[in-house]
Structure 1
């Protein structure tokens, strides 16, 4: 996300910060009232609504922090239960879940700070430049009616009662104006950093979220492994195994015919040889589906290039990593790219596709782009959902940008380190 810079952008950010800080006052009041109404029963219905409203408001502050000051504030909320029961029982379960989430109370504490400290900091941040301009206005002649109406006017520590003192105040105003240009962006960033101390997850919350994610990805990995084993078993049973059984029966018939009807036996031998070649080809395809030899021998970059050559749509590949990653990471990345390219070729209507594969020192980043019709999204049970789960086992993430009309960009990131290139066989 682009960080806004310059005084004008800073002034806009300060104005937005000031306005949003004012919103903290009614939100805090309504939230406290809703919590107080829980024993009366009314709060059971109003509190979940208020919590959602506060979280949305906190989300807007996170967006402001990233856009205007480059301060990233992670989201700490626990995912809401998907299997909540209907009626009063489900409403009580939702309320209990929200009240047990530490982020709910941290948001409430942040609202209390923001309506006092945040508002004061926003006001202080915005005060320097207008205060400096005020001295120039006074020096321009406004000081005279002001002094005539109320006597000596104090500008900071300078008493304005004549043109000379007004000019002296104007010089001091230059200092305030210059300080505002320097200090205001720093104070703006400071305000967002203080908000991050409340809105970001604590180490304990981050650890709990990490444990939840590892538990989910472990279950996904187990399910994926079981599904893969069933696929291998099915492919063996319906493909190579059936051909080998048929070939064994043919050899038995050939053994019986070799003396009685050599010509027929020779014909059946040729058919058996053809069956053995097809069985071998199917076994090679099966092994390639488990772990492509080119991936093991030459690494992810060359494996993706080989994959691109087999696609029916032209694919341009740009690969930059200088080394190799761990084999499980390479395998997950390879099959993720394969799934994305296959889906794009089937459903996008694209004429060309591009694969960019880079490593920034800590993260493997893969971007697959096509010029198709767009509209791709991560749907439960879909291909992209399966890719997201596959990458989740390695703490990887998947992001999809696919507006109607295209283009579609699928970005995959996997935290990993590079090693020296492994020798090829």
Structure 2
């Protein structure tokens, strides 16, 4: 006997056992799945809040339409008799049941005034009830936030593991091989020093060349992890150094109220490098503008904003596996966001916003063309 959770679906559409009809169908796995789905919806508070809104919203909408009806009725009652040429004026429309023309005119004006007075509060009531019933609860917002943080943490851990594997591979295939060659050359030099000094000198030159290449590769690895220019000169000057090396005509402006944390400096630096490379390779741009500034006073949170704008042909998209998606994942580890505006024909503007607490400022010029 195979337990029901592991049994294949019956060929008859969900009935278990031999026989058919309602009793057999109600014991099938499809019914169990439907039952679980139904129970999930019944136990979800959002379902009942949606039902409450579905009942209350039409009644509130009808109530909110009453002022509009009053304005329309009063205006029509005042204007229609005159438009039709009625010698009695408004009395035939509104005064007929009040017994006096003046009473009809007064009733029309009162209807218009009450409608205009009652419309705003009734519309606000409808909006507030709809917002209270349809917006997510604090618990739902917190659960969504926890899920987002869990996903970004997983992506950050995966990215860190991939970076460690890359460093290990580069060390194993590059630096380690060159250091092994240096060791072999030194061993050969020891044996050839007395018997063949010329060959020993040649081997020494090869060992020196291998050590220089190994040192250059180590420096490249260090720049790929945390560029020394960040520690020595800070984020702004490091970005300017990248702009100088870029084939594009780049202009960098900065207005930072303090020093950016080291980990965030590295993320922003590599993000700007990726965006500059994309502008040069894919956008067909000739100029690029880079702006770094902190959030304006009075904003809800302290944040670093970096915008990169180019004059290319536009059409950039956030595609899976692309460089922009990698930048987005890099920023997500710091709870940052990437906003893209790239209409066809250009320009392309990418804005990075990362919440952070800045420390004491570092002296740096505010604007420079590269």
- Considering the TM-score relative to the shorter chain, is it more than 0.5? yes
- Confirm or deny that 1:112 pairs with 2:55: yes
Structure 1 residues 387 and 150: CA distance shift in structure 2, 3 A? closer
Q: For 2:285 and 2:130, locate their aligned partners in 1 and report how far apart those are by CA, in whole Å.
A: 45
CA contact (8 A) 1:128 1:184 kept: no
Structure 2: gaps of 5 or more residues: 1-21, 23-29, 365-370
Matched, 1:242 2:186: no
Q: How does 1:100-249 map to 2 (within 5 A)?
A: 102-121=45-64, 123=65, 126=68, 137=79, 144-148=88-92, 151-152=95-96, 161-162=101-102, 166=105, 191-249=126-184
Aligned residue runs from structure 1 range 24-423, under 5 A? 102-121=45-64, 123=65, 126=68, 137=79, 144-148=88-92, 151-152=95-96, 161-162=101-102, 166=105, 191-360=126-295, 362-421=302-361
- How many residue pairs were aligned? 329
TM-score by length of 2: 0.73
CA drift of 1:358 comes to 1.9
The separation in 2 between residues aligned to 1:294 and 1:131, in whole angstroms, is 75
Rounded to whole Å, the distance in 2 between the matches of 1:187 and 1:367 is: 43
For the residues of structure 2 that align with 1:305 and 1:315, how far apart are their CA atoms? 9
Q: Which moved more, 1:389-398 or 1:100-109?
A: 100-109
Instruction: Kindly indicate whether the alpha-carbon contact (under 8 Å) linking 1:357 and 1:366 is maintained by their aligned counterparts in 2.
Output: yes
Q: Secondary structure at the match of 1:319?
A: strand
Distance 1:112 1:149, change over 3 A: closer
Indicate if the aligned counterparts of 1:139 and 1:169 stay in contact, CA closer than 8 A.
no
SS in 2 for 1:375: coil
Q: Secondary structure at the match of 1:409?
A: strand
Distance 1:323 1:189, change over 3 A: farther
User: Is the partner of 2:306 in helix, strand or coil?
Assistant: strand
Deviation at 1:101, TM superposition (A): 5.8
CA distance in 1, matches of 2:322, 2:36: 30
SS at match of 2:285: coil
- How far apart are the structure 1 equivalents of 2:362 and 2:321? 36
Q: Cα gap change, 1:411/1:199 in structure 2, threshold over 3 Å: closer, same or farther?
A: farther
Matched-pair contact (CA < 8 Å) for 1:324–1:419: yes
Q: Which protein shows a greater Rg?
A: 2
The structure with the greater share of residues assigned to helix is 1
Q: Deviations over 1:93-132 (max 9, x none)?
A: 88777776654554443333322214433x2575687578
Paired residues of 2:81 and 2:93 also in contact (CA < 8 A): no
The answer to whether the 8 A contact 2:248-2:280 is kept is yes
- Per-residue CA deviations over 1:118-171 (Å, capped at 9, x if unaligned) read 4433x25756875785687489787934413664567xxxx96249x84x6798
TM-score by length of 1: 0.65
What is the SS of the residue equivalent to 2:187? helix
User: For the Cα contact (< 8 Å) 2:74–2:107, is it kept in 1?
Assistant: no
Q: List alignment gaps of at least 5 residues for structure 1.
A: 1-39, 41-86
Q: Contact between 1:308 and 1:316, CA under 8 Å: does it hold in 2?
A: yes
Do the aligned partners of 2:72 and 2:112 also contact (CA within 8 Å) in 1? no
Report deviation, 1:209. Answer: 0.4
* Structure 2 CA distance for aligned equivalents of residues 389 and 236 of structure 1: 25
Distance 1:149 1:344, change over 3 A: closer
Are the equivalent residues in 1 in contact too, given 2:70–2:112 (CA < 8 A)? no
SS in 1 for 2:195: coil
How far did 1:278 drift?
2.0
Conserved 8 A contact 1:135-1:173: no
Query: Residue 226 of structure 1: CA displacement?
Result: 0.4
- d(CA) in 2 for partners of 1:119 and 1:367? 48
CA distance, structure 2, for counterparts of residue 98 and residue 228 of structure 1 = 43
